[in-house]
């Protein structure tokens, strides 16, 4: 029984991380109609900036608070200086631009930090493992489960229950109409892009103690995040949650019970969704 | 106006012609070119960068005399760790730059792809990093030379050490590609031969970021030691997570390669891990001490495994070219076969039968030493070359 609980927690902890990344990816697509290839790099940037903050301050918690807004600001700046000008162009331009941004950011991080991975220690409170009925489980992973759930609920409440959330949803549904009704669409796009990057940055800071900050972590996570978003439905926060849980479970349980086919399972689920429900579990048919 | 245009064109044309003609005049001191299609970016950049660091030091050391009185020129190409890109870049180096020697290839998958092309190109491939046993067995050809310790040799060294240890039950975790699977298979075979048990094995995909499922399985297998053949970053992540799960206290981590890179990234959580090392910079030979000093002066850090192995390869290649008296590939191959070389960690012999360099093998432990800014490899046991090198053109040991 304890082992089943351990597998469940493993899936939830991974899902928590995946959600922080895929939520932003999904949000950006829903509102900006852009598939943001640079999204994974903001996750990586979060992890590296987290490392720097921890190294400078000696504390983990400030990193969790300070880094996401910084990453968000960098994202918003990039959106307003590059992406903003090509929304009307065919999607291939946006793909190329975000891909280029990803390469530039990744190589800049390499130049600044060097090729060696940067280890970040969890805060003292979350170090070590707790005994869950016979199974030793790392405290830090429990924290990831809580963090994923909290952020998930907060984002959902924000979009559903606040006025700003209403405007964002209006822009997502029909940006021209929202514009006519007085919503500042340009500003909404920049803010949403920044917020999405901040979420990815938060994911990066949170991931650093678990995976270290390393080059290539963005590429690894963006592939999973795309699968999450395809399964859950582009533009839907609920979909990102469901998709994260499905991918987290497929990866951890697959690796445990069917190791030879672990990688296949995740893509098989995605393939099935694409065939039977191409708009995703929670997406809307267009 | 016309006249001016004409002048411009003719000046440009003349410049162009003289550029084309230039090589004819300088051919007398033509450089010996060594091509390095190395992973300089991407997840495996640390290996390509080690090869480059070694080449930088070698260039500096050889600058005054050159090889055969000719300068040495390194040409780097970034493969990003992708076999298809590696073949493309290697082809460019051979056909466009005219290199006769390829080295610095980081991953075994890249090496298998590039090496397969070398007989056709008539270019010598010198492995200084690649571990896959197949390179000197199933996929061997006479243009291939391996200066470094291979995966099976590393597995052999650590198996010899474990055969003497009180541990009885082992779990094998190898990355799901040529090197990881080869090493795990080799380890399994040798541990079984030593009358000990393999109680489980698994092959996580390259680039795994969450090892929780594997950690759970290792714990459930009640193994006393876990053998890890995971490349660079994957090993770092595994060690970090196993430490958080408290697994390292219960199950001794045994690494196919115990690298400085991991020790720097993982830090104290790595202390206590044992493993084999292709080249531990702590080897106590005069030649090595001198090398570590020069390396530290140039790069401001201690040399990792493939810094050492690549430097040895380059120095040996230079020695062989000098012996052959030419950089003609066929003559170099003949001169290299059955030749000996005094490496950083001891004597090397290039076997004629499969071009595997016979060299000492090491079992090391990661320890803390206040003299160094990071944990270092402490040598537990040294095995002579004939004990750790497989039978010719196989991955088996007698």
Record the tokens describing residue A31, joined without a space.
């509102």
Q: pLDDT (tens digit, 9 = 90+) per residue, B118-138? A: 999 999 999 999 999 999 999
Q: Which ranges constitute the DSSP H helices of chain A?
A: 2-32, 39-57, 61-81, 91-113, 139-161, 163-173, 175-180, 185-211, 217-232, 237-257, 262-276
Distance CA A162, CA A153 (A): 13
Give the mean model confidence (pLDDT) for residues B64-86.
Answer: 94
Residue with tokens 């401001």, as numbered in its chain: B300
Q: Which of A7, A110, A260 sits opposite B41 (nearest CB)?
A: A110
Task: Note the pLDDT of residue B14.
Answer: 45
* Fold match between domain B31-149+284-359 and domain B152-277+362-388: yes
Q: Which of A232-236, B160-164, B276-280 has the lowest mean pLDDT?
A: A232-236
Q: Which of B42-46, B332-336, B383-387 has the lowest mean pLDDT?
A: B42-46
Please determine, for residue B35, whether its predicted confidence score (pLDDT) is greater than 60. Answer: yes
Q: Which of B41, B204, B267 sits opposite A119 (nearest CB)?
A: B267
**What count of Cα atoms within 13 Å lies in the side-chain half-sphere of residue A105?**
26
| Chain B CB contacts of A209 below 8 Å | 240, 244
Distance CA B209, CA B237 (A): 7
Pair A68, A202: CB distance under 8 Å:
yes
| Chain B CB contacts of A252 below 8 Å | 210, 212-213
Mutate to test the interface with A, among B49, B201, B244, B307 (most CBs of A within 10 A): B244
Task: Tell me the sheet residues that pair with B200.
Answer: B171
Does B265 contact A10 at a Cβ distance shorter than 8 Å? Answer: no
Q: Is A118 on the interface with B (CB under 8 A)?
A: yes
In chain B, where the domains are located: 31-149+284-359, 152-277+362-388
The domain B31-149+284-359 is placed in CATH, from the list 3.40.50.620, 3.40.50.2300, 3.90.550.10, 3.40.50.970, at: 3.40.50.2300
Pair A182, A173: CB distance under 8 Å:
no
User: How far away is chain A from the Cα of B181, in angstroms, using its nearest Cα?
Assistant: 13
Query: Which numeric CATH code is attached to B152-277+362-388?
Result: 3.40.50.2300
Mutate to test the interface with B, among A104, A259, A261 (most CBs of B within 10 A): A259
- Helix, strand, or coil (residue A123): coil
Please determine, for residue B104, whether its predicted confidence score (pLDDT) is greater than 80. Answer: yes
Band (B15; pLDDT cuts 50, 70, 90): very low
Q: Which of A128, A140, A252 sits opposite B210 (nearest CB)?
A: A252
Distance CA B220, CA A257 (A): 13
Q: Which of A62-76, B12-26, B56-70 has the lowest mean pLDDT?
A: B12-26
Share of chain B above pLDDT 70, in %: 93
- How far is Cα of residue B194 from the mean position of the Cα atoms in its chain? 28
Pick from A286, A273, A10, A274: nearest CA to A138: A10
Q: Which of B45, B203, B240 sits opposite A115 (nearest CB)?
A: B45
Task: Note the pLDDT of residue A152.
Answer: 93
User: How far away is chain B from the Cα of A224, in angstroms, using its nearest Cα?
Assistant: 11
Task: Tell me the sheet residues that pair with B361.
Answer: B383
Please determine, for residue B9, whether its predicted confidence score (pLDDT) is greater than 90. Answer: no
Pair B364, B379: CB distance under 8 Å:
yes
- How far is Cα of residue A173 from the mean position of the Cα atoms in its chain? 22
Write phi, then psi, for B149 (nearest 5 degrees). Answer: -70, 135
Please determine, for residue B3, whether its predicted confidence score (pLDDT) is greater than 60. Answer: no
Does B265 contact A117 at a Cβ distance shorter than 8 Å? Answer: yes
Distance CA A266, CA A245 (A): 11
Does B205 contact A263 at a Cβ distance shorter than 8 Å? Answer: yes
Distance CA A63, CA A70 (A): 10
Find all residues with CB under 8 Å of A221, minimum gap 6, and list them. Answer: A17, A18, A21, A40, A43, A203, A207, B209
Q: pLDDT (tens digit, 9 = 90+) per residue, B201-254? A: 999 998 899 999 999 999 999 999 999 999 888 999 999 999 999 999 999 999
Task: Note the pLDDT of residue B7.
Answer: 47
Q: pTM (2 decimals)?
A: 0.83
Report which of residues B196 and B12 the model is more confident about.
B196
| Chain B CB contacts of A41 below 8 Å | none
Q: Is A117 on the interface with B (CB under 8 A)?
A: yes
- Give the E-state strand segments of chain B in sequence order: 32-38, 72-78, 101-103, 124-127, 144-146, 169-174, 197-202, 225-229, 252-255, 274-277, 340-342, 347-350, 357-358, 361-367, 376-383
Does B265 contact A118 at a Cβ distance shorter than 8 Å? Answer: yes
Q: pLDDT (tens digit, 9 = 90+) per residue, A250-273? A: 999 988 988 878 778 889 999 999
Distance CA B331, CA B336 (A): 9
| Chain B CB contacts of A215 below 8 Å | 41-43, 45
Characterize the bridge pairing of strands B361-367 and B376-383. antiparallel
- Give the E-state strand segments of B83-195 in sequence order: 101-103, 124-127, 144-146, 169-174
Q: Is A128 on the interface with B (CB under 8 A)?
A: yes
Share of chain B above pLDDT 90, in %: 80
Distance CA A194, CA B252 (A): 45
Q: Is A104 on the interface with B (CB under 8 A)?
A: no
Record the tokens describing residue A82, joined without a space.
């590059």
Does A255 contact B214 at a Cβ distance shorter than 8 Å? Answer: yes
| Chain B CB contacts of A214 below 8 Å | 43, 233, 236-237, 265
Pair B108, B130: CB distance under 8 Å:
yes
Q: Is A13 on the interface with B (CB under 8 A)?
A: yes
Q: Would you put residue B255 in left (φ > 0), alpha (ψ -120 to 50) or beta?
A: beta
Helix (H) or strand (E) holding A131: strand A129-132
Q: pLDDT (tens digit, 9 = 90+) per residue, A201-260? A: 999 999 999 999 998 899 889 999 999 999 998 888 899 999 999 999 999 998 898 887
Q: pLDDT (tens digit, 9 = 90+) per residue, A140-175? A: 999 999 999 999 999 999 999 999 999 998 998 888
Please determine, for residue A59, whether its predicted confidence score (pLDDT) is greater than 50. Answer: yes
Task: Note the pLDDT of residue A88.
Answer: 87
ipTM: 0.88
Mean pLDDT rounded to a whole number for chain B? 91
Band (B19; pLDDT cuts 50, 70, 90): very low
Report which of residues B26 and B327 the model is more confident about.
B327
Find all residues with CB under 8 Å of B305, minimum gap 6, and list them. Answer: B50, B257, B259, B260, B277, B278, B279, B280
Which residue in chain A has the smallest CA separation from B245? A138
Q: Which of A110, A219, A256 sits opposite B216 (nearest CB)?
A: A256
Find all residues with CB under 8 Å of B121, minimum gap 6, and list them. Answer: B91, B94
Pair B34, B99: CB distance under 8 Å:
yes
Band (A78; pLDDT cuts 50, 70, 90): very high
Domains and CATH numbers, chain A: 2-276 (1.10.3470)
Q: pLDDT (tens digit, 9 = 90+) per residue, A93-149? A: 999 999 999 999 998 998 899 878 898 989 999 998 998 888 889 999 999 999 999
Task: Note the pLDDT of residue B6.
Answer: 47
Pair B277, B366: CB distance under 8 Å:
no
- State the DSSP string of A29-84: HHHH----TTHHHHHHHHHHHHHHHHHHHS-SHHHHHHHHHHHHHHHHHHHHHTGG
Does B46 contact A116 at a Cβ distance shorter than 8 Å? Answer: yes
Please determine, for residue B30, whether its predicted confidence score (pLDDT) is greater than 60. Answer: yes
| Chain A CB contacts of B43 below 8 Å | 214-216, 219
């Amino acid at each position: 029984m304890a082992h089943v609980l351990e597998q469940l927690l493993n899936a939830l902890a991974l899902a928590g991380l995946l959600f922080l990344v895929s939520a932003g990816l999904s949000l950006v697509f829903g509102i900006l109609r852009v598939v943001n290839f640079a999204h994974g790099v903001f996750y990586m940037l979060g992890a590296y900036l987290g490392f720097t903050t921890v190294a400078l301050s000696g504390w983990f918690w400030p990193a969790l608070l300070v880094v996401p807004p910084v990453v968000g600001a960098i994202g918003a700046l990039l959106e307003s200086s590059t992406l903003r000008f090509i929304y009307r162009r065919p999607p291939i331009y946006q793909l190329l631009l975000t891909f280029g941004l990803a390469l530039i950011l990744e190589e800049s991080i390499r130049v600044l930090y060097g090729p060696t991975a940067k280890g970040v220690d969890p805060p003292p409170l979350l170090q070590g493992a707790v005994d869950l009925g016979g199974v030793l489980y790392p405290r830090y992973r429990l924290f990831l489960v809580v963090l994923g759930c909290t952020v998930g609920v907060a984002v959902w409440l924000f979009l559903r229950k606040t006025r700003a959330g209403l405007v964002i949803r209006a822009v997502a549904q029909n940006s021209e109409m929202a514009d006519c009704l007085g919503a500042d669409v340009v500003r909404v796009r920049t803010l949403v892009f920044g917020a999405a990057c901040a979420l990815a940055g938060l994911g990066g800071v949170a991931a650093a103690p678990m995976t270290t900050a390393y080059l290539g972590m963005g590429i690894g996570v963006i592939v999973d995040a795309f699968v999450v978003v395809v399964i859950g439905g582009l533009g839907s926060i609920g979909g990102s949650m469901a998709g994260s849980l499905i991918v987290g479970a497929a990866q951890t349980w697959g690796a445990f019970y069917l190791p030879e086919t672990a990688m296949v399972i995740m893509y098989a689920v995605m393939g099935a969704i694409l065939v039977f429900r191409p708009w995703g579990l929670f997406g809307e048919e267009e | 106006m016309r006249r001016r245009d004409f002048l411009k064109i003719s000046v440009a044309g003349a410049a162009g012609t003289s550029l084309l003609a230039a090589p004819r005049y300088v051919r007398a001191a033509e450089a010996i070119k060594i091509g390095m299609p190395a992973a300089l970016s991407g997840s495996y950049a640390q290996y390509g960068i080690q090869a480059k660091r070694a080449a930088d030091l070698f260039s500096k050391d050889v600058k005054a005399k050159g090889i055969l009185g000719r300068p040495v020129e390194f040409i780097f190409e970034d493969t990003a760790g992708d076999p298809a890109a590696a073949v493309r870049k290697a082809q460019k180096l051979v056909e466009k730059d005219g290199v006769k020697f390829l080295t610095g290839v980081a991953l075994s998958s890249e090496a298998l792809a590039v090496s397969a092309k070398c007989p056709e190109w008539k270019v010598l491939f010198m492995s200084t990093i690649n571990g896959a046993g197949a390179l000197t067995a199933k996929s061997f050809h006479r243009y291939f030379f391996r200066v470094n310790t291979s995966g099976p040799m590393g597995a052999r060294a650590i198996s010899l050490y474990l055969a003497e240890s009180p541990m009885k039950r082992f779990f094998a975790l190898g990355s799901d590609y040529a090197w990881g699977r080869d090493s795990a298979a080799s380890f399994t075979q040798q541990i079984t031969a030593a009358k000990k048990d393999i109680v489980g094995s698994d092959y996580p995909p390259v680039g795994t970021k969450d090892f929780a499922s594997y950690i759970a399985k290792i714990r459930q297998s009640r193994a006393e030691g876990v053998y890890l053949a995971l490349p660079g970053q994957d090993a770092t992540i595994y060690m970090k997570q196993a430490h958080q799960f408290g697994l390292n206290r219960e199950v001794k981590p045994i690494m196919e390669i115990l690298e400085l890179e991991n020790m720097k990234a993982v830090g104290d959580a790595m202390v206590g891990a044992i493993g084999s090392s292709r080249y531990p910079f702590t080897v106590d030979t005069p030649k090595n001490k001198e090398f570590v000093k020069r390396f530290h002066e140039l790069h401001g850090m201690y040399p990792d495994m493939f810094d050492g192995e690549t430097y040895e390869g380059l120095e040996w290649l230079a020695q062989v070219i000098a012996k052959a008296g030419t950089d003609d590939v066929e003559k170099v191959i003949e001169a290299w076969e059955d030749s000996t070389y005094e490496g950083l960690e001891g004597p090397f012999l290039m076997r004629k039968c499969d071009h595997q360099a016979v060299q000492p093998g090491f079992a090391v432990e990661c320890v803390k030493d206040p003299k160094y800014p990071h944990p270092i490899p402490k040598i537990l046991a040294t095995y002579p070359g004939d004990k750790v090198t497989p039978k010719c053109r196989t991955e088996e040991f007698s």
